Structure 1
């Protein structure tokens, strides 16, 4: 006997269609990042691929719901297999940022303990399906005994609380990791790698926003008023849009630059309160640094870092860093860029803008990007490069 195909599913409406399109694209970027991992062995690409896949996979439950799957297939068992893997999101966020900010990062055996909770949860979900499937009448219902009276009644709410607490902790650790790394770059490198660091910042901001939004929505639904499924739709729509952005930016941003940076020595951070009186040793080193910077102009190399400069000056890197921080009251990045800005000003005063563009002059003076040049120049002079050049033409 032929069974008529139900016409109710799929329902392409204003709720299901946007989610469907966005989630499918998310899976495409997850696949592309996975291919990159197999081709180039970038661990960060593998982690981001899994993160995007899980985030998109979580939207699947709601996408097919808005497409009327549950109304059409009243005894569907799909609830057993659309397993919430949120317990993996926090660890994946942390290890993604760590894989970018740690030179030659590799997973260690002890790292997998972070994924023990989600692994146990998957085993639990499979176990309740096996039990419910063995009970009489299972084929005639949507959810079996353990699914209703154990999973939905007790385990589900408990897992929700654990997920939120875990996510809060991992976000805190990951944001701390990012800020510590950004400070280290300013102590070691004259290039701040702002493009790559901005990507990490935006990545963390998006997941933090989604986490806070979900908490806010949960509080509203639990304490104030029950939210209709169309009102809950917005969270899933924002999440779907977010993972498309993350997929695109994550694929096209070369985070391997940060992974290859080498912080070979420990240095002190720039003190917030400068020393009132410098020691004779620091004064001598400071004078040597000034003479070398003015005569040899190492700042013209856009990739100049603390280790290279210490070798040129034959001064230990910790001593050099301490002399820059205390003697010039600047971190390494600001110190080097101050010479670059001065070189740009000198070229503009000589009328070099008639032969070169402002960006060309910036490259000649050691800057490696337009964004960094504009930001640093305005930070150190309180005016933009174009405004400074225009002021020279008016004098």
Structure 2
């Protein structure tokens, strides 16, 4: 049964390659302008398609028939890391797109890999065939030893390079998630969680491929693992294609406007860092006190905290206080971010509703939506962070006699 499945691997590889090339063309043509992150996504899909093509040449036996095609596509694999990193970076900050000289350095390794493999490319056809069949008969000459050394270096450098860009991509997403809390009261729709899932899937694949390249799987596992990793690769492509299309459709303009007019160096967190950042600010302690009073009136008197779409920008428009001054007042005086500041008002109102009993008792989910939360899970997490209890536990505690 398993052997029958494995025999279909070339067909699966062709399916993945075709999908990659089609989506690469689509994303490239559909890019709205030269600064669209989709350009990087198109490049990533194209190179990912080349990995399927390289694997197909191997599993179909074409490499044995025409040994000179072996390894020709490998240098392009060094583009995978930079392309997915730039795509994620520009999705998280549309103003980051500048293909300047500082970015060109990320594309040096493909050139270096060509130089490292140049000796291997000049190997005689018969010698390449013996390497592919595992005979490993190496002539005692410097030229052949140099070629083998080049291959080994490429096999070591490639997984390390991809690991570096996976880590950098994770860091970009974490920074983005932290910054969201300075601008939005609800962040579920803004978090780009699908990119985290993508990076997780790619990280699992990286572990499998790195182990195979650097150590190698036992012979009786090798074909099975290759087949299932191919299936996962195809799954990654379909996942990325669907999410890439869907994300741009619902959030493309939003990503352009999301942080418009906001300083990129806004302090993250609170405490001493925020105070040092605002040390030269023109706002006095009395100014901050007046701002907080006006914010409290708007949020409690006008019940703005009930608005699930409330943002720093909309609060600024309502109060006619600049976003910078609102942020400074919250960060410096209350030592919290906008997200936690608004949730404090929501939790306070929720606690009042949860204390009701009898006929006035309201379901927890209804309370969550009424005070501005989009989901029960987010409400539970925020409530527990502020009170140390879940809403249900808090209600039970209030209902029980002392």
* TM-score interval, smaller chain: 0.7 to 0.9
- 2:372 maps to 366
Stretches of structure 1 that go unaligned for 5 or more consecutive residues are 1-10
| 1:101–1:153 CA distance, 2 compared to 1 (3 A) | same
| 1:151–1:23 CA distance, 2 compared to 1 (3 A) | farther
Within a 5 Å distance, the mapping from 1:244-259 to structure 2 comes to 244-245=235-236, 247-249=238-240, 251-252=242-243, 253-254=246-247, 256=252, 257-259=254-256
- 2:206 maps to 211
- 2:51 maps to 58
> In the alignment, is the contact (CA less than 8 A) between 1:12 and 1:67 conserved in 2?
no
- 1:267 maps to 266
1:177 to 172, 175, 198: 172
Hey, what's the Cα distance between the residues in 2 that align with 1:29 and 1:228? 30
Hey, what's the Cα distance between the residues in 2 that align with 1:374 and 1:22? 44
- 1:328 maps to 334
Residue 332 (structure 1) shift:
0.9
| 1:296–1:203 CA distance, 2 compared to 1 (3 A) | same
Residue 234 (structure 1) shift:
2.1
CA deviation string 1:162-203 (max 9, x = no partner) = 323433433333332222222111112222246643222222
Residue aligned with 1:254, SS: helix
Within a 5 Å distance, the mapping from 1:172-321 to structure 2 comes to 172-193=167-188, 196-221=191-216, 227-228=218-219, 230-231=221-222, 234=225, 237-238=228-229, 240-245=231-236, 247-249=238-240, 251-252=242-243, 253-254=246-247, 256=252, 257-262=254-259, 264-265=262-263, 266-271=265-270, 279-321=285-327
- 2:74 maps to 83
Hey, what's the Cα distance between the residues in 2 that align with 1:35 and 1:335? 43
1:114 to 96, 106, 111: 106
Hey, what's the Cα distance between the residues in 2 that align with 1:347 and 1:335? 19
1:44 to 37, 47, 69: 37
1:97 aligns with 2:92: no
Residue aligned with 1:267, SS: coil
RMSD of aligned Cα (Å):
4.5
Hey, what's the Cα distance between the residues in 1 that align with 2:227 and 2:190? 28
> In the alignment, is the contact (CA less than 8 A) between 1:190 and 1:303 conserved in 2?
yes
| 1:195–1:313 CA distance, 2 compared to 1 (3 A) | closer
TM-score normalized with structure 2 length: 0.71
Stretches of structure 2 that go unaligned for 5 or more consecutive residues are 132-138, 276-283
CA deviation string 1:105-161 (max 9, x = no partner) = 5452433442243256569879976x67xx8xx699858999x93785132222223
- 1:167 maps to 162
Residue aligned with 2:192, SS: helix
Hey, what's the Cα distance between the residues in 2 that align with 1:98 and 1:357? 41
> In the alignment, is the contact (CA less than 8 A) between 1:77 and 1:143 conserved in 2?
no
Residue 100 (structure 1) shift:
0.4
Hey, what's the Cα distance between the residues in 2 that align with 1:203 and 1:115? 22
